[in-house]
Each structure stands twice: as structure tokens, then as C-alpha cells.
Chain A
Amino acid sequence: MTESTLEKKPAPRASGAAFILKKAAISALVALVLFSLMIGVRTEAGPQGGLIYWTRFGDLAAIVAAVFGGSIIIELLRQWWGPADKVRVVPPAVQNALSLAGRLLAPALLIFTFLVPVIFYDQRYILDLAILVLTYVMLGWGLNVVVGLAGLLDLGYVAFYAVGAYSYALLATNFGLSFWVCLPLAGILAAFWGVLLGFPVLRLRGDYLAIVTLAFGEIIRLVIINWQSLTGGPNGVSGIPRPTLFGIPLTPGEDGLAARLGIEFSPTHRIVFLFYLILALALLTNWVTIRLRRLPIGRAWEALREDEVACRALGINTTTTKLTAFATGAMFGGFAGAFFATRQGFISPESFTFQESALVLAIVVLGGMGSQLGVALAALAMIGGFELFRGLDQYRMLVFGLAMVLLMIWRPRGLIGHRAPTVYLERSQAISSDLVKEGHG
């Protein structure tokens, strides 16, 4: 719907103080009505079981005043910045510097990531956070295959994460299988579930696809909660074995890695090992995705994203194309799930809610859909930002939601708005993602 220049009214931009004040007053009035009952009155179950309430008009006044001031500031900023659709000319020197920085960013980031355990060896908190970020990078790259490459909108990605996690947890606790046996199994099982989800949605498009994947994610979660004899229900599975270095445990005992190498045992070894494990898994995901994009199947995914009808007319088998996309994405989700289970040592259905799916999808879209570097940066920004606001406690999700809305308004195309085409005639030239259609399922 980009052709609708007709709808843009050539409204003369009023800029006087009266205009700004009027706008701010309207905003404040709206805020007053919105928050009058929700913030002005606080209800709580009283001691006798009935509801009691008390008023908080001070808070209400503060918020309305904040909205009034905020909207004045926003309007001033907007007038200072000028119309949103004005083309801004970037000087060539700056542009060159930026593109150089852009090219160097990925290798620099990779080298830095490899060095993180060396630099932050003593800071357990940073290592844990880095592992968490890498887990989401991996999930983002996995979902990117489905959403970014094949253009299939998947709102239930967390289901495959759950399948992977529970596969490892149950196989390891019930049959004593080691992590390295279970990891491929978890991937295969998740891929199998991906195909299982793929079949009913073959004929669905767009939002029907979105709701079915969402329903699928919820079904998996509800079954995990209710099938208590297998999964332990809401209590989850605990005592999941820690990973070993191909059979050598990272424990202080006789046969532990530290004893064999003749160095002093430290619990940090395990964290560092986990860090490199998830880094390897994530890089594997990235490498496989990049390679697949060059294969016929990867090209078929991208063709499917652009136009399904044309795809069929060209003789591409859309059934296998869709199923492989789901299976590949799900497999990486399963790997990440197995890693999550072994890292936590305990899993419960609470870790696999819709919020996780939304978070991973937000990472993919914010990363620019299809850009591997963008997804990594988005994961870093989202999870890092999420951690920064840990002190805010209950306001954290509120801030997260607001950030999601504002980021979408600011950059609907994601952080990295350009992408390198897989096929080109003479030289690779980045194309703006405005030219790429996405997500028609």
C-alpha cells in the first residue's frame, strides 16, 4: 500500500505556540480520562474478602502533567526535525566511513565474542548474560530461516524450543543418555514436530498461518503442563545432567577435566565451556543458514517469500519448500532448547510462554528480517536492554512493550535495513529492504 500518496494531506504545518499547547492539552485530557479510574482508584481485596478501594489523585495528576509536558516536548522535537519523509542527504565521506564500519562490524563483533570469557573471566554475571544473549541469537537465527527467508510468519517458535528442552531433559533423566547423544536427537525431534506443524498449514497464508502457529505453541505448552506423568506438569523436570566435554565431566572429582589437565578446579570452567558451546551452536546455525541460502532450497525459500504464485508457476515444489523451512528452523530451535535445559539443569513450562515467541520474533523483525548481523545486534540490544531494566522490576515488561512499539515506529524495517542479495549479475550491491516483500506466508 505504498502507492497511497493520495491519502497524504498537504496539511499546512501549524507551528505556533497555540497549536502546540492545544495539542498538549488534548493529550492531557485524553490521559486524564484514560487513567481516571485505572490509576485514580486502586482496588484491592479487603480483609473480609470483599473489595475495598482508595483514591490516588496525586499520582493521577502527576501522570497527566507528565503527558502534558511530554507531548509539548515531542511536538517541539518534531518541528525541529522537520517532516518525517524528508530525504536526508548524508555526505559521501560519512557514508563511506559508515559502510567501512559496517563491513568491519561483523568480524570485530565475532572476535570480541570469542574473547568475552578471557576478558570477563572473573565476572560471572557478564558471562551468564553473554550466554543468554547467545541463546537468543541462536533462536533468532533459527527463526530467521522460517520468517526472514521463507516468509512464513511463525508465532509459536517457542514450541520447538520446548520440544528440544524436554527431549533432552527426559532422555537424560530417564535413560541416562549423554548430552552429545541427545543434542542431535533433540534437533531431529524438533524438526519432526516442525514438519508435523508444517503439514496442516501448507494451504494457509498470512494471518491464518500466524494464528495456527500460535495455537500450536499453546497446545504444546498446555500438553506439557497437563501430562504430569511424563513431564512433571507445572513442577517441571529437575536434576538435568550438566554437559560433559565429550564424556569428561567438568566436576571437581578425580575424573573431572580440571584433574586430568592438572589445573585447579574452578566452577567458572563450566560457564566458559557453556559459553563456547552455545557460541559454536549459534555459529553453526549461522553457517548452515548462509550455506543454505546459496543452495537451490534456500533460493526457493526466498522466492516463496517474494511470491508464492510465481514460485509455483516456475515449478518450485512449495510443499517441500515450506516443510523444509519449518523443519530447519525447528531443528535449530531444538538445539537451542537442549542447550537451555542443560544450562539451567531445571526446566518448567513457564519458560516456554508466548512471550518468548514474541521476544524471538521481535528480535528477528528488529534485526531486519533476513540479515544475520542484524539479528545478532537486535538480540544483544533486546536482551541487554532487558537486563539493564532489571532494577525496575515490575516496570520492566512495560518498558519492554513500549520499546517494541517505539522501535517499530522509528524503524519498521529493523536495525539493518539493507541486505545483500544472494544472486547478482556483476557485483553485489545491497538492496533496500523496502523493495523486498515479506511475510505473505
Chain B
Amino acid sequence: MDYFAQQLINGLVLGSIYGLIAIGYTMVYGIVGMINFAHGDIFMIGGFIALISFLVLVSLGLTAIPLVLFVVLLVSMAITALYGWTVERIAYRPLRHSFRLAPMLSAIGMSFVLTNFSQIAQGARVKPVPPIITGGYTLHEGPGGFVVQLSNIQIIVVLATIVLLALFTWLVSRTRLGRDMRACEQDQTMAALLGVDVDRTISMTFVIGAALAAVAGMMYLLYYGLVDFFMGFVAGIKAFTAAVLGGIGSLPGAMLGGLAIGLIETFWSAYFSVEYKDVAAFSILIVVLIFLPTGLLGRPEVEKV
């Protein structure tokens, strides 16, 4: 039971990170109808920028860790958001009204560009950081000596995810921008007729998605203590799997799918085999889609002839 509880905690933390990335996928898909293949690499860039800005700030003499982390968060969100904006501007906007596969291939190309850009700019080796946030709580000490622990970093990851989600839900459901986004999702031409700046709204969607991915990247850095140029690919596929599992286009679905993938992966590693954890996650995706072709919370598409 203790082991189960510990794995549950680990799975929820991992799932939060996946969920944050998955929101970027699902938002873009909802509005533009394309898979933003470069999103996983945006997450990786976010991790790198968090790492570099942290190093620079610490070496400049800032020692108050909470303040440093806050500044790092803002910096990495801002710069990564600009990456998201640039990627959309260069690779997707010219192809907006092109046929369906064109933006997808250009996205795959962009993903290669970002991966190799960071490899060239920052080197191929894994970048480790010492644990920045340490300490935690012992929740329960079992008779066999097994201790269920909840570390501070885990609390921070989950809290940050909840706060961001609340903020994000408010943004989508209560603000002008959110209303524009929902309008563009339903009908871009009509939204444009009613005075919504479609280009700007789509750009903002990419910016917000990238900012959330940057948070995920920073959480990943804090939680695992390393970044490398290739981490975007696997994390990106898993997060996209999460988005599809939850029903692509649905925001709560993305979070739910993220948690599901995180839990599946953690429990599979804990009880079966670590080697096959990705196989398990992908297999469950396939099984779910056989029975629920639109994911857990997705709306079935009505097909018109």
C-alpha cells in the first residue's frame, strides 16, 4: 500500500508535467487543426532557457532561491513564448490555407531545426544541475521500513500546475482573448467577419502554449535535475499521446490525459518493467482509441457530406 501511495505521488507529478505540455498541443489543434510537432522541442528550449538563466542569475550574486526561481520562471516563459510565436510566424502562417499535410511536414522540419539548433548551440552532452529545491515531508513510515515521501519539489510542481490551470481556464472562459480563441476554434471566417483578428489570436495561442511548455520545461529541470537537447522528442510524443487520449481539442481532456499517461508510465515501471513503460503508454493509447475513437473527453465529429 505504501509503495502504491508513493508511486501514485510520483505518477501525479509526472502527469502534471505531461499535462502542461499537452495543453499546448490541444489548444493549437483546436484552433488551427494541425499537430504542432515542434511543441515538444519548445518544451526542451524552455528547459534550456530556465537552466541558462538560473546559472547566470546565481553567478550574478542572487542568492535568495525563491526570488531566483521566480525570475527564472518569468524569463523562460517570456523567451520560450517568443520561440512559439516565431515558429508560428515562420513555419505555419504561410501555410494556413494550404492542404492539411503541408503544415504538419513543416512542423516536423521545425522540430528538427529546434533540436539541432540546441545541440549546436549548447552541445550534445546532458546538462546536470544540483538539486535546487531540497527537503520534503515523510507522510507515512511503513512497518517494513518503506517510507512514503512527498518532496518539496513535487509539491511545487503540482501546485504550479494547479495555479496555471486555474489561470488558464479563467483566461479561456472569461477574457476577451479567450472568447476570440473560442470563436476562431468554431469558425475562423465568421470570427473574422465579426471583427476578431484571427492572425493575432492564433499567434497568441502559440504564445500561451509555448509559455506553458516553458513552465513544464522548468519543472522538468527542477524535478529531474537535467536537460538535454533530445528530451523534447519523447516528452512531446507522450504529451501528444496524452492530448489524444483526453480527446484532442479539449482542455480538461489534455490535463486528464496527461495525468493518465503519467500514472500509467509510473505504475508500469513500478510493477512490471521499466524498459517497456513507453510501450505500455502507447499500447494503452491504441486500446483506448479502439473503443473511444475521439478520446476520453473529445466531442465526436459530426460528418457532413
Contacts and interface: CB of A to CB of B under 8 A. Distances in A.
Given A307-B305, A409-B106, 7 more contacts: A2-B97, A45-B128, A53-B56, A204-B289, A211-B285, A404-B112, A412-B99
Contact of B123 (A42, A226, A440): A42
A188 to B, nearest CB: 23
Contact of B276 (A53, A222, A394, A412): A222
Contact of A53 (B55, B110, B188, B286): B55
15 contacts: A6-B193, A44-B127, A53-B52, A153-B101, A203-B290, A210-B104, A212-B286, A222-B275, A222-B279, A226-B275, A307-B305, A358-B112, A401-B113, A413-B102, A438-B100
A211 B241 contact: yes
A49 B128 contact: yes
B286 A404 contact: no
Contacts of B117: 38, 398
B94 interface: yes
Contacts of B121: 35, 38-39, 42
A398 B113 contact: yes
Interface string A1-35: 11110110000000000000000000000100111
Given A38-B117, A398-B120, A405 B91 contact: yes
A72 to B, nearest CB: 17
B289 A208 contact: yes
Interface stretch (B79-87, B157-165, B167-175): B79-87
A2, A36, A218, A369 pick with most chain B CB within 10 angstroms: A218
A339 to B, nearest CB: 26
Question: Most chain-A CB neighbours within 10 Å: which of B94, B112, B115?
Answer: B112
Contacts of A42: 121-123
A113 B52 CA distance: 52
A200 B129 CA distance: 43
A43 B101 contact: no
Contacts of A115: none
Contacts of B111: 401
Nearest to A215: B282
A200 B287 CA distance: 8
Given A42-B123, A207-B248, A439-B100, A402 B94 contact: no
B90 interface: yes
B112 A216 contact: no
Nearest to B113: A401
A36 B82 contact: no
B293 interface: yes
A38 B118 contact: yes
Nearest to B52: A37
A310 B237 CA distance: 33
A323 to B, nearest CB: 15
B95 A211 contact: no
Closest 9 pairs (CB-CB, A-B): A404-B109, A401-B112, A412-B102, A401-B113, A215-B282, A408-B106, A412-B98, A398-B116, A405-B109
Interface residues of B, number: 80
B155 interface: no
B113 A405 contact: yes
A216 B286 contact: yes
A295 interface: no
A4 B275 CA distance: 49
B116 A397 contact: yes
A401 B110 contact: yes
A323 B116 CA distance: 37
B148 to A, nearest CB: 30
Contact of B101 (A309, A365, A398): A365
B104 to A, nearest CB: 8
A247 B45 CA distance: 54
Nearest to A369: B101
A46 to B, nearest CB: 10
B267 interface: no
A214 interface: yes
A424 B242 CA distance: 45
B277 to A, nearest CB: 9
Interface string B171-196: 00000000000000000110011000
A36 B305 CA distance: 51
A59 B59 CA distance: 22
Contacts of A218: 237, 278, 282
Nearest to A411: B102
B100 to A, nearest CB: 5
A263 interface: no
A397 B286 contact: no
